[in-house]
Structure 1
Amino acid sequence: MLAVNYSTIRNKLKEYCDRVTDERETVIVTRKDEKNVVIISLEEYNSMMKAAKNAEYLAMIDRSIEQLASGKGTVHELIEVDDE
Structure 2
Amino acid sequence: MHIVSYSEARSHLKEVMDRTAADADVTIITRRGSANAVLLSQEHYNSLMETVHLLRSPANAAHLAQSIAQDQAGSREPHRLADA
- Runs of 5+ in structure 2 lacking a partner? 61-84
Q: Name the stretch that deviates more: 44-53 or 17-26.
A: 17-26
Seq. identity, %:
35
CA drift at 1:26 = 1.2
State the 1:20 CA deviation.
Answer: 1.0
Are 2:28 and 2:37, in contact at CA under 8 Å, matched by a contact in 1? yes
Please identify runs of 4+ aligned residues in structure 1 that moved more than 4 A: none
Q: Deviations over 1:32-80 (max 9, x none)?
A: 23410100000000100010111112x1x27xxxxxxxxxxxxxxxxxx
- Give the number of the structure whose alpha-carbon radius of gyration is greater: 1
**TM-score, normalised by the number of residues in structure 1:** 0.66
Q: How does 1:56-75 map to 2 (within 5 A)?
A: 56-57=56-57, 59=58, 61=59
TM-score by length of 2: 0.66
Query: Any gaps of 5 or more consecutive residues in structure 1?
Result: 63-84
